[in-house]
Amino acid sequence: MKPPPALRPYRRLRLAPPPQDGYQWAMSAPRRPDQHHASRRATGIGVLAIVMWATLAPLAVYSRAVPPFQLVAVAFTIAFLVGAAASLLRGRNPLDQLRQSWRVWLLGIGGLFGYHFFYFLAFRLAPAVEVNLINYLWPLLIVLLSALLPGVRLRWWHAAGALVGLAGTALLVTRGGQVAIRADHLPGYLSALACAVTWAGYSVLSRRFGHVPTDAVAGFCLATAALAGLCHMIFETTVWPTALSGWTALALIGLGPVGAAFFVWDHGVKHGDIRLLGALSYLTPPASTLLLVAMGAAEGHWTVWAACLLIAGGALLASRDLLRRPRTA
């Protein structure tokens, strides 16, 4: 009998190391069901910001006597206190969350304060209809700019849903009428465009700093409150609410649409579906308008209902990924 052939020595299987950019590797790898569930949960948390922003206009009705920058300063001070209290309840030192790089601070302050600065400046320099219309380019810009993020693939239904939402918002803002573009209002138009670009850029770039904890937003709120207070002292005269309803609205604005909303939005754009969040943001104008109509602070119009149908259809189209079952790797 011939001796058995010599067995080859066992060779250990070596796996190629992941790329240095761990974030890109994680985003490009197939998602497991648990990762998909985590993304859905983060997206749902981000949607809470859209719900809170819809209450801003109704609450502003009761605090209309307060100058804009004064309102921003007070509201963001409340937001800072809420964020700091939340950190303490989780056993974290709020001061530790302030130790971030200058790039993080530039993004956070530029996003929060820059958006509100250009927003109020635009309303001073141009009519409200045109300013609102240009300002609400930011959800569409978020959807389009998200394609530049590593591992994020922009599908046709995301862009189409955002465009349909923009059409519905245009109908709602203009009430089916024409928009008069005038050269003397150009500074206001540019301020409104800067407003839209600022918020879209902040939202998309926040995802690149996914390692920064959401607790750091409290520091951005504090800095924004300080800068808004400075603008208030330069440009405005201090006016406080005279009724309990005004004080209540001011407190609720700081707790909700100009408070907790920015914390949940930060979590959503960092860990959720940023394309879907951008498209769903077009739900804010009709939801806000419906609340104003219910309060009697605005009149119902056929354009309101048509805009609601358009925006709801666009949101449903953009939600195609969320409605599909996750694929296992």
Residue 68: the pLDDT is 93
Q: What is the mean pLDDT of residues 79-97?
A: 89
> Would you say residue 40 has pLDDT above 50?
yes
116: buried, middle or exposed (CB in 10 Å: 19+, 13-18, 0-12)? buried
Chain mean pLDDT for the chain: 83
Non-local (6+) Cβ contacts of 292 within 8 A are 57, 58, 61, 298
| Cα 258 to Cα 270: distance, rounded to the nearest angstrom | 19
CA neighbours within 13 Å on the CB side: how many for 192? Answer: 21
Of residues 169 and 56, more confidently modeled: 56
Tell whether the model's pLDDT for residue 172 goes beyond 70.
Answer: yes
- Of 37-46, 170-179, 224-233, 309-318, which gets the smallest average pLDDT? 170-179
Question: How many Å from the N-terminal Cα to the C-terminal Cα in the chain?
Answer: 49
pLDDT for res 1: 54
pLDDT > 90: percent of the chain: 40
CA-to-CA distance for 125 and 113, rounded, in angstroms?
18
Would you place residue 33 in the very low, low, confident or very high pLDDT band (cuts 50, 70, 90)?
low
User: For position 25, what pLDDT does the model report?
Assistant: 33
Q: Specify whether the CB–CB gap between 42 and 272 falls below 8 A.
A: yes
For 90-110, the pLDDT digits (tens) are 888 888 888 899 999 999 999
CA pair distance 312, 290, nearest whole angstrom: 13
pLDDT of residue 10: 46
Alpha helices in the chain (DSSP H): 22-28, 33-53, 56-62, 68-89, 102-125, 128-135, 138-145, 156-174, 186-208, 217-235, 244-255, 261-271, 274-280, 284-295, 302-318, 320-323
According to the model, what pLDDT value does residue 20 have? 41
pLDDT in tens, 116-167: 999 999 888 888 777 887 888 898 888 888 888 887 777 888 888 888 888 8
Residues 62, 285 contacting (CB under 8 angstroms): no
Tokens of 91: 């056993």
Query: Where are the domains positioned within the chain?
Result: 37-322
Task: Give the confidence band of 19 by pLDDT, cuts at 50, 70, 90.
Answer: very low
Name the DSSP class of 210: T
Q: Say which residue, 77 or 20, is predicted with more confidence.
A: 77
Residue 329 pLDDT exceeds 70:
no
Q: Are 110 and 285 in contact (CB under 8 A)?
A: no
Q: What is the pLDDT of residue 186?
A: 86
- Residues contacting 206, CB < 8 A, separation 6+: 107, 111, 266, 269, 270
Q: Which of 228, 326, 311, 199 is nearest to 273 (CA)?
A: 326
191 closest CA partner among 110, 134, 109, 111: 134
- Residue with the two structure tokens 């530039």: 106
Angle at 114 between CA 109 and CA 118, to 5 degrees: 170
Contact 143, 279 (CB under 8 A): yes
Tens digits of residue pLDDT in 212-267: 999 999 999 999 999 999 999 999 999 999 999 999 999 999 999 988 999 999 99
Mean pLDDT score, 189-204:
92
pLDDT of residue 252: 95
Answer yes or no: is pLDDT of 51 > 90. Answer: yes
Higher pLDDT, 301 or 27: 301
How far is C-alpha 200 from the geometric centre of its chain's CA atoms? 8
Model's pTM, two decimal places?
0.81
- Each residue's pLDDT tens digit, 284-304: 888 888 888 888 777 777 777
d(CA 126, CA 210): 36
Of 227, 262, 296, 224, which is closest to residue 62 (Cα–Cα)? 296
Residue 43 has pLDDT above 80, yes or no: yes
